[in-house]
Amino acid sequence: MFDAAFFRDPYPVYDKLRASSPVQKVDGAMGPLPVWLITGYAEARAAFTHPGISKDTRRFQHVLNQGGNPRNINAAVAATMVATDPPDHTRLRRLVSKAFNTSTVERLRPRVQQITDDLLDAIASAGSADLIETLAIPVPITVISELLGVPEADRDNLRCWSNANFAAGDHRTRDEASHKIADYMAQLVAAKRAQRGNDLLSDLIAVHDSTDSLSEQELIALAVLLLIAGHETTTSLIGNAILALLLRPAQLAELRENPSLIPLAIDEFLRYDSPTAIATIRFTAEPINIADVTIPADQIVLISPAAANHDPARFADPAALDIHRDATGHLAFGYGIHYCIGAQLARTETEIALAALLTRFPTLNLDPELKDLRWRHSRLIRGLQTLPVRW
């Protein structure tokens, strides 16, 4: 299923699967492991909140071991907040939720604007750039790194390890990256414990050291998760949105003339080409029934927000981009208790990046020498590797 053609354009595959059955067993999605893929909108929402579906990878390690290739994922990475169920998930989410609420994100807005303006200043005179490398990556990774207190000199390595965690192909690459990023975070925690800073990681260290509500492994796992989740999907959202507009000059011109439309348009960008192609892994804790399909216990369940967001039963003419569409209710950030905690930050970063870019470069176009778009080979993330443009 996950071949080069799929990574270039997964939507024909999703449409074919959904038309056959919105819930079905697919071969080869995770090697020899049995996997059920959900591509329908109503079915995805039901699965996101189904009490018989679990995210606790520790509880279902025996299911993963059926593949015959034992994994060597760092324990902290394997047990992040997104791989837990209540009450652990509830406790961990509560510890970081304040840092990502609407009022806190609004206080970050001037800093996000400054970061964006500085990045555009740096490329303005060149007349051309790769917007993934010069804008879509550095905006969110700078913001989340500053929020966590990650030194600037370390961010390139962290970005490489983070990317590797999502790469399709040999799982050993992902396993090795999981150890590198967790080992780094353990060292950073030790350094901040010796000298606290005014950052979220220092705050979490204080919680660990003064209460019993956060173990050392959970502390490192939270740091890893916040860094990875804090930039990966936003990078893809910014890149996918810019590309969608460059391919539709009329809608690009409309947003340039009326930037107040951008916040509404972001929901449509999220629906149209979701940066989350397939959500992180889930398991059936018991036999469950969705859309008259029975999934036995101890099975892997993959929910595709990208496919659900193109379900014509929920969104009319889903293959068309329409910046005036009411796309609220899309599933790009998930649904239920695991709804993306950084959704508001991602929206704000994307809004500022798009508004600044469209205002600053009124003649922005795809590089005319571009032969083919290169997409990341990732089951989870839908995003461009490069986006060459000129102005």
**What domains are there in the chain, each with its CATH number?**
4-390 (1.10.630.10)
Whether the predicted pLDDT of 82 surpasses 80 = yes
pLDDT for res 303? 98
pLDDT for res 190? 93
pLDDT digits (tens, 9 = 90+) for 320-332: 999 999 999 999 9
How many other CB atoms are there within 10 angstroms of residue 206's CB atom?
Answer: 14
pLDDT digits (tens, 9 = 90+) for 264-298: 999 999 999 999 999 999 999 999 999 999 999 99
Specify the 3-state DSSP secondary structure of 290.
strand
**How much is the mean pLDDT over the chain?**
92
pLDDT for res 237? 97
Residue type, position 96, single letter: V
Q: Cα–Cα distance between 326 and 248 in angstroms, integer?
A: 19
The DSSP code for 126 is G
Backbone φ, ψ for residue 278 (5° rounding): -135, 130
CA-based nearest residue to 242, from 133, 155, 344: 133
In the chain, the percentage of residues whose pLDDT exceeds 70 is 97
pLDDT for res 67? 67
pLDDT for res 170? 65
Between 307 and 159, the higher pLDDT residue: 307
Q: Cα–Cα distance between 21 and 68 in angstroms, integer?
A: 29
Lowest-confidence pick of 19-23, 37-41, 117-121, 182-186: 182-186
Whether the predicted pLDDT of 62 surpasses 90 = no
CA-based nearest residue to 83, from 50, 57, 122: 57
Whether the predicted pLDDT of 46 surpasses 90 = yes
Whether the predicted pLDDT of 168 surpasses 70 = no
- The token duo for 273 is 């080409």
Whether the predicted pLDDT of 2 surpasses 90 = no
pLDDT for res 92? 92
pLDDT band at residue 169, thresholds of 50, 70 and 90?
low
Whether the predicted pLDDT of 69 surpasses 70 = no
Q: Cα–Cα distance between 179 and 182 in angstroms, integer?
A: 5
Q: Cα–Cα distance between 220 and 112 in angstroms, integer?
A: 26
Q: What is the pTM of this model?
A: 0.93
